Structure formats: structure tokens, C-alpha cells
Amino acid sequence: MDSREFRNAMGRFATGVTVITTNDGAGAHGMTANAFMSISLEPKLITISIDNKANMLNKIKAAGQYAVNFLSDEQQDISMNFAGQKKKEDGVDFDFIQGIPVIKDSLASIVCDVDQEIVVGDHTLFIGRVLDVELTEGNPLTFYCGKYGNYRQKECV
Ligand code: FAD
Ligand code: NAD
């Protein structure tokens, strides 16, 4: 099986879109990601999967902390900015939770300390121990078959 066929198959799993944010001391850095999973309630753990060639890799290693920001359907421009697809000309607004940069107006921002780092193939999993979360109302941005979309429902209660 070639990589295109693998990606076409994986692309049929509809996901939300996140931006991972961190600060290694050189300022806020963000990266768009859809490889996200909630993995444990007690303790509260999540994971992300970062390409070993991504600039984000060494920044999270140095910071020992990161945030995951779930984007709303009004934030496609932010996803494109942090995927290197299209620069957002008017810049990106960051807030801070416990000193960790987060994307303003995300549906949820989850900040965590790195608990474990596991190299798996050409990616590295960063298991995060959750420190805090912040929530906003809105509808999620989705990613399906390589394309952005949206999903509308009643309020998330
Ligand atoms: P760079 O390429 O250095 O940064 C990414 C972009 O963010 C650049 O354009 C940069 O200018 C901008 N940027 C960074 N910090 C700031 C700032 N402070 N202010 C303004 N702009 C800033 N890759 C994975 O490894 N794992 C995934 O799960 C994953 N999922 C993806 C899901 C989707 C829907 C898409 C579109 C891409 C996904 N990618 C994923 C690919 C990944 O987003 C790109 O390869 C990305 O460019 C790699 O980022 P980087 O850390 O190497 O940083
Ligand atoms: P695509 O067709 O490349 O992505 C479809 C699906 O394939 C993704 O949702 C993901 O599950 C999987 N995938 C793609 N690249 C992967 C990789 N390098 N490692 C593991 N899984 C991967 O969609 P697209 O619109 O062409 O994506 C835009 C860019 O973002 C591409 O360069 C793609 O490689 C990258 N991307 C990377 C990841 C990742 O590293 N986990 C995830 C999504 C997209």
C-alpha cells in the first residue's frame, strides 16, 4: 500500500481540528493537528502525535508543557495559518492559562504538563497531564477527506 492510499483511508475518519501551542522561551509557537486523543480520567491524560520533522517537536521538549485548542468553524483561517497553508495577515491573538499560550476564542483550551514522551515510527506521542481547561460556546471546525467543513448542533451542555 502506498502512502497516498493510507492517507485517503485515514482521511475518511472525520475529526475536529486543533492547534497545539507552547512556549519554549522564544515566544508562542503553534501547529495545526488532528491527531488528538483523550486517554485517561484518573489521572486526567490526553495525547497528541507530532511529526519528528516538525519544528513543534523540540519546542514542546524544551517547554515541558503544551496546550491543545479545539477550533470553532469561525477559525479556519487560524488552522490554515498554523498548518503553513495561508498566513493570517492580521495576526493571531493569544491568551494565557497558567503562563501557557492558548488560542483566543477556541471551543476548548486544555493546558498540560508533558507526562511521557513516546517515539512511535516517524511521530512522537506527548502524553499530557491536564492542569486546566477553558471553554467557549460555538460550533466545531471539522476535517474530512482532506477538506475543512463544519458540524452544527444545539448548544453543548
Ligand atoms: P512551522 O511550519 O514552523 O509553523 C507552522 C505555521 O504556524 C507557520 O506558517 C508559522 O508561521 C505559523 N506560526 C507558528 N507560530 C506562530 C505565531 N506565534 N504567530 C503566528 N503564526 C505562527 N502534523 C502533525 O505532526 N500532527 C498532526 O496531528 C497534524 N495534523 C494536521 C491536521 C490538519 C487538518 C492539517 C491541515 C495539518 C496537520 N499536521 C499535523 C501538519 C502540520 O500542521 C504542518 O506540517 C505544520 O506546518 C508543522 O508545523 P511546525 O511545527 O513544523 O511549524
Ligand atoms: P491528507 O489526505 O494528507 O490527510 C488525511 C489523513 O491522513 C489525516 O487526517 C491523517 O489522519 C493522515 N495523515 C496525513 N499525513 C500524515 C502523516 N504525515 N502522518 C500520519 N498520518 C497522516 O490531508 P491533507 O489535506 O493533504 O493534509 C495537509 C497536510 O497536513 C499534509 O502535508 C499532511 O501530511 C499533513 N497532516 C499530517 C498529519 C499528521 O502528521 N498526523 C495529520 C493530518 C495532516
CA distance 61 to 59: 5
pLDDT reported for residue 154 = 66
Residue by residue, pLDDT tens for the chain (157 residues) are 999 999 999 999 999 999 999 999 999 999 999 999 999 999 999 999 999 999 999 999 999 999 999 999 999 999 999 999 999 999 999 999 999 999 999 999 999 999 999 999 999 999 999 999 999 999 999 999 999 999 987 677 6
Ligand 1 center from residue 157 Cα (angstroms): 31
**Nearest C-alpha to atom 13 of ligand 2 is from which residue?**
7
pLDDT reported for residue 157 = 67
**Nearest C-alpha to atom 24 of ligand 2 is from which residue?**
146
Instruction: Specify which residues 67 forms β-bridges with.
Output: 21, 111
**Nearest C-alpha to atom 44 of ligand 1 is from which residue?**
83
Q: Which atom of ligand 2 is nearest to the CA of 147?
A: 25
Grid cell listed for 39: 486517554
Q: Which atom of ligand 2 is nearest to the CA of 35?
A: 41
Rounded to an integer, what is the distance from CA 76 to the centroid of its chain?
Answer: 13
Domains observed in the chain: 3-150 (2.30.110.10)
Query: Which residues have any ligand 1 atom within 6 Å of their CB?
Result: 17, 28-35, 49-51, 54-56, 81-84, 92, 143
Quick count: other Cβ atoms within 10 Å of Cβ 91? Answer: 8
**Which-ligand-closest: CA of 147?**
2
CA distance 17 to 11: 13
* ipTM over cut 0.90: yes
Ligand 2 center from residue 15 Cα (angstroms): 12
Helix (H, G, I), strand (E, B) or coil at 154: coil
CA distance 140 to 49: 20
